[in-house]
Structure 1
Amino acid sequence: MAEMTVTVAAAKSTLRTCPGARRAAVLGRWMPLAPAAPANLKLFSPAVRVPRATSPAAVEQDGSNTDIVPIPKVIIDQDSDPDATIVEITLGDRLGDLLDTMSALKNLGLNVVKASVCLDSTGKHIKFAITRAFTGRKIDDPELLEAVRLTIINNMIQYHPESSSQLAMGATFGPEAPTEEVDVDIATHIDIYDDGPERSLLVVETADRPGLLVDLVKIISDISINVQSGEFDTEGLLAKAKFHVSYRGRTLTEALQQVLCNSLRYFLRRPTTEDASF
């Protein structure tokens, strides 16, 4: 498995705020959190251990009885902060403080170094910055990034079981699988744009499933394309990835773009990952 090397040359060290001129008051500012003791981490491909919530009985009840369940969103951002991986979680106004999720991330050998909460017209957004405990740096391993994603989604389902039917991962972790099944051929969109003289921007949207982040990075690396940084969003049944990529320090040529698109499309239509591995 090729590791994803993250090299952000000029990223800002501050997080973006919630959009909208009329967003509601910020409920919490960035607060330093006490570092956790380093934990032993062993992740071997393709298996990923996902820590579970320790107390499902502590589910937040705010808004959980409404008829319309909002689309859950989990954003893993490698671009916004040069020193930490930024995670943003949204589930309408239903999310609690996610203390159990932070504890589960510490069990993966990570430190939650900053956290904030804000509220806008789309709901409550919880953001936190995480680093590897033994290096103090952002996560550069795609397997660990996928473990973070699955841990957050699993805990969301544990505490908010109504979200299970809205998440593709509900069929794997949740009590209720989604009633809607996404057609991979229709849902999959792949675009590549030039992003300066030294890199290109790869945008992939497709049906979500366990292990997708790891597999995308692997198929890109297998054709000798370097993944520099990116963002991976989980939005209900879909996953949306944005990767800054390059080939020998340059943007991708049209021929290489076509090779990459064909490889990704072929793989996404015929995934080889075994669900039992997760």
Structure 2
Amino acid sequence: MEALMVALADPVRWRLVRLLAERPRPVGVLAQLAEARQPQTTKHLQTLERAGVVSSQRTGQRRIYSLEPGPLRELAAALEQLAGAVERPDGAQAAYERHGATVEGERLAAEDEGWADGRRFEFHRSLSGSPELVWRHLTEAELLGQWWTPADLRVSELLFEAEPGGRVVLEYRDAEDADGSDQIAGRSEGVVTGVQVGEHLAYDNSPLLPDGSFAFTAHVELDLRPTASGTALDVTYRITGSTIDSADFIAGIELGFGQSLDKLVATLAADPTPRSMQ
């Protein structure tokens, strides 16, 4: 496939392919129609032949070239597959475009300091496992790191001191930034404000702007209650201290935090801990 794409990338070779799509033609005629010299045309045709997109046979004194449709159909199918993946309504591209539209709306709304203060986001999830097991995933750094970012990000630094006044630090990078050479995708710092083990957790968390100042502060409250199938988790995410520059961050809360909680659901569903220990 790569050899085919390289062969077709040259404008002259693409012109030859289009001419051969009409009918098989000899080298000399192809050179005339492509407005190229015959030696150059021969080299281009040889490149296309090595890529499998044309074939040739000698007829008398002439070498006739014809187009092979198979590789072109394979390329068309591959391109169609790529386009289909992009156009999926539940795909990453669609989520990215929805996020972009939300960003634009929030930027228009961010006219003054405090513009988003009091904004609330609520999330509800049904989780496998007991409240005690869920609590561990909410408060233990090793378990938090498995889910506390959206799907396309990874945790690069994490601190969560599950006690009143305890520090909260979350830094994350692109999931494919394996060696940390790319810029960090985000960092937030905060403090734990309330703890009732297995039942209630509250903390303040502030995303950092590039200059190190806070974009806003989110007051997050998580309430757990046992159910017949596991645990119900209710989350309230309330914004205070919003700055004009916080629009891009606030635009990502509903999607990003929601994706993180979806990862928590999946993580607990796959947790190998025996039910008797949960």
Provide the TM-score with structure 1 as the length reference.
0.23
Larger radius of gyration: 2
Query: Quick check: which one's helix share is greater?
Result: 2
TM-score, scaled to structure 2: 0.23
